[in-house]
Chain A
Amino acid sequence: MKELIVISGKGGTGKTSLTAAFCHLAHELGQSCVCVDCDVDAADLHLILNPEVEHTHTFTSGHEAIIRQEDCTACGLCKEYCTFDAIIEGQDGTFRVDPYACEGCKVCVEFCPVQAIDFPSAECGIWNISDTRFGKMVHARLHIGAENSGKLVSLVRQQAREVAAQQGTELVIVDGPPGIGCPVIASITGADAVLIVTEPSVSGLHDFERVAQLCRHFNIPAYLCINKYDINPAQGESISALAEQHNIPTLARINHDHAFTAAQIERKTITEYLCTDTADSATSRIQALWEALHQRLNT
């Protein structure tokens, strides 16, 4: 079983559209796959894959501090000790915990001189195993402002690998989060390959370099796809040249196409929406990209 993660650094470059298209193409080619959404705080893949949820599970991780007002003596020690500015002193002199700032470190609970702080488990999100027209899907949703996005990402990947193992599935295709922090690191560590989707802009170049360094830091083979290429081909080639220095081959250049939006509105993958007509249509480019990726995953 091989696991491919699609990331971008910069948001809005087309990760989800491409991931959905790969799931479609893999299915069409008889390569069984599990589709995974690891962008747990802004998940969109389900909008295209339209999953029928089979099992939903709550994701409980860590704890949250809650001050019992009736026992609190308002000594303020918790506020002094909290390094996350999560204790708020009200105008009436009461203290409470801001749940969006609390990281669940337990320091206030431990050191409260009158043990007035409870520390229940925190439900941080949900995760689902679903069925789609392209195969099984594992996806999740972190609650607003919840902690532990990295742990949820790791859980989702682990569940996807278990589903793949049970079903003897050949591929796990993962839609990753933007950025280079906690959830991204949790998404790519130990993967077989990463596809970086970028766009030919100064921001695209800047963000590409940072994800390329991240892939090298964790020693994961990476490939590049430049989307919206014709918006600035010269900039696209600068990114491609930089990629070469990082030993990252450029596998595709895809032109800007309003069909990506049109396909999304019809809840279709771009490869379902746009038939192959010319050699440089988005669909032909994505087919060629998928073929190249699939080949590299299996060598």
Chain B
Amino acid sequence: MNTNDIKSNAPPFTLAIASGKGGTGKTTLATALAEAAGIPVTLRDCDVEEPNAHLFIRPQWHRHTEQTRPVPLIDQQRCTACGACVELCQFNAIAVARGLAMVFTELCHSCGGCRRICPEGAISDKEVPIGTLDCGTQRKNPAAPINFIQGKLAIGQVMAPPLIRATKNVAAEEALNILDCPPGTSCPMITAVRDSDFVLLVTEPTPFGLNDLELAVETVRQLLIPFAVVINRADSGDAGVRTYCHANNINIALEIPWKREIAEAYSRGDSLCDAAPELKAQLHTMLQQIMCREETA
């Protein structure tokens, strides 16, 4: 074991796996990195709209909790229909009609403003379900178990960010945190990658992959988080992504080839480290470089 190896007593490090475009291989990479780390890790599936990492990790679940968020509950006895809450609410989540205040729960962002502004103290918090948090462990490598945490948005729920925050906030002791993030560049993606130490942007070498990579790069640059690119299905497509990375001094940390065996293994829920064992050492080295780079930075 070399002296640069990843240490389980290192300071906490959060690595976010993100992408602009969906379906580029975020989950594949996040789960494979968790298995290649060689130390105990916490893997958090922050893609709460479509959490898939559990299909590859197959953890033993040991905790299940319902997650809620507060929305206003109006005491109609006290409410004078003065409209102060309606005027403050920026999301049209409260309306007054025929002397009664009504709440439209699905529009509410849980800011708590209405409760604070009500002169009669007629508004309290009511907790409504938004989804679930599940915790489990994978002990495929007993020396380096994976502590797995997953948020899952309830069907019909509009707002993912509160659940993403809850998924990130579950306490864990492992030094390395890997986040499987939602695609895109809007609030769910930003909520997930925010405050990370490093981001890996997964892309594919196609015009769609490049277009969405450029957006994702702009996003992480604005968030001031160091990042590198991983090109998946690297031998398909064209040279656009590489040309762009070189022109913009972006480090390409890893290239994963397109192989039918990898696609088939993925379709069954088998891990990348099992389908292409030769990649495991490369993943480990990449992780080492990212964590050491940060330590020395």
Chain A residues in the interface with B (C-beta under 8 A): 8-13, 16, 40-42, 44, 47, 62-63, 81, 83-85, 100-101, 103-107, 110-111, 142, 144-147, 149-150, 177-185, 199-204, 206-207, 210, 213-214, 217-218, 228, 231-232, 235, 256, 258, 261, 264-265, 267
Contact = CB atoms under 8 A, between A and B. Distances in A.
B206 to A, nearest CB: 5
Interface of B: 20-24, 27, 49-50, 52, 55-56, 88, 90-91, 109-113, 116-117, 153, 155-161, 165, 182-191, 194, 204, 206-208, 211-212, 215, 218-219, 222-223, 236-238, 260, 263-264, 266-269
A145 B187 contact: yes
B208 A44 contact: yes
A41 B23 contact: no
B185 A181 contact: no
Contacts of A184: 49
A47 B110 CA distance: 38
A217 B267 contact: no
B201 to A, nearest CB: 12
A249 B156 CA distance: 22
A41 B184 contact: yes
B88 A232 contact: no
Given A180-B155, A214-B155, A111 B116 contact: yes
A109 to B, nearest CB: 9
A106 B160 CA distance: 20
28 contacts: A8-B22, A42-B22, A42-B184, A44-B21, A47-B211, A81-B112, A100-B222, A100-B223, A107-B112, A142-B186, A178-B183, A178-B184, A179-B50, A181-B160, A185-B156, A202-B55, A202-B56, A202-B267, A203-B269, A207-B52, A210-B155, A214-B155, A228-B263, A256-B263, A258-B236, A261-B236, A265-B207, A267-B207
A214 B186 contact: no
A83 B52 contact: no
B244 to A, nearest CB: 14
A128 to B, nearest CB: 16
A16 B209 CA distance: 12
Contacts of A232: 264, 267-268
Nearest to B70: A83
Residue of A104, A180, A199 with highest tally of chain B CB at under 10 A:
A180
Contacts of B27: 203
B111 A47 contact: no
Contact of A201 (B49, B91, B112, B266): B266
Contacts of A202: 52, 55-56, 267-269
A147 B111 CA distance: 15
Nearest to B258: A258
A117 to B, nearest CB: 13
B24 A145 contact: no
Nearest to B117: A110
Contacts of A258: 236
Contact of A104 (B49, B52, B90, B183): B90
B156 A107 contact: no
B206 A264 contact: yes
B183 A100 contact: no
A64 B238 CA distance: 40
A285 to B, nearest CB: 19
Contacts of A103: 109, 111, 187
A267 B207 CA distance: 8
Contact of B207 (A10, A42, A149, A264): A264
Contact of B110 (A83, A104, A180, A182): A83
Contacts of A42: 20-22, 183-185, 211-212, 215
Given A182-B159, A201-B267, A261 B206 contact: yes
A184 B110 CA distance: 21
Given A144-B222, A147-B187, A267-B207, A107 B111 contact: yes
A76 B190 CA distance: 24
Nearest to B155: A213
Contacts of A218: 156
A204 to B, nearest CB: 8
Given A44-B211, A184-B49, A202-B268, 15 more contacts: A8-B22, A9-B49, A11-B22, A103-B109, A144-B218, A145-B190, A150-B158, A179-B188, A181-B153, A203-B266, A206-B52, A207-B52, A210-B50, A214-B155, A214-B156
A106 B208 contact: no
A19 to B, nearest CB: 12
Nearest to B205: A261
Nearest to B112: A83
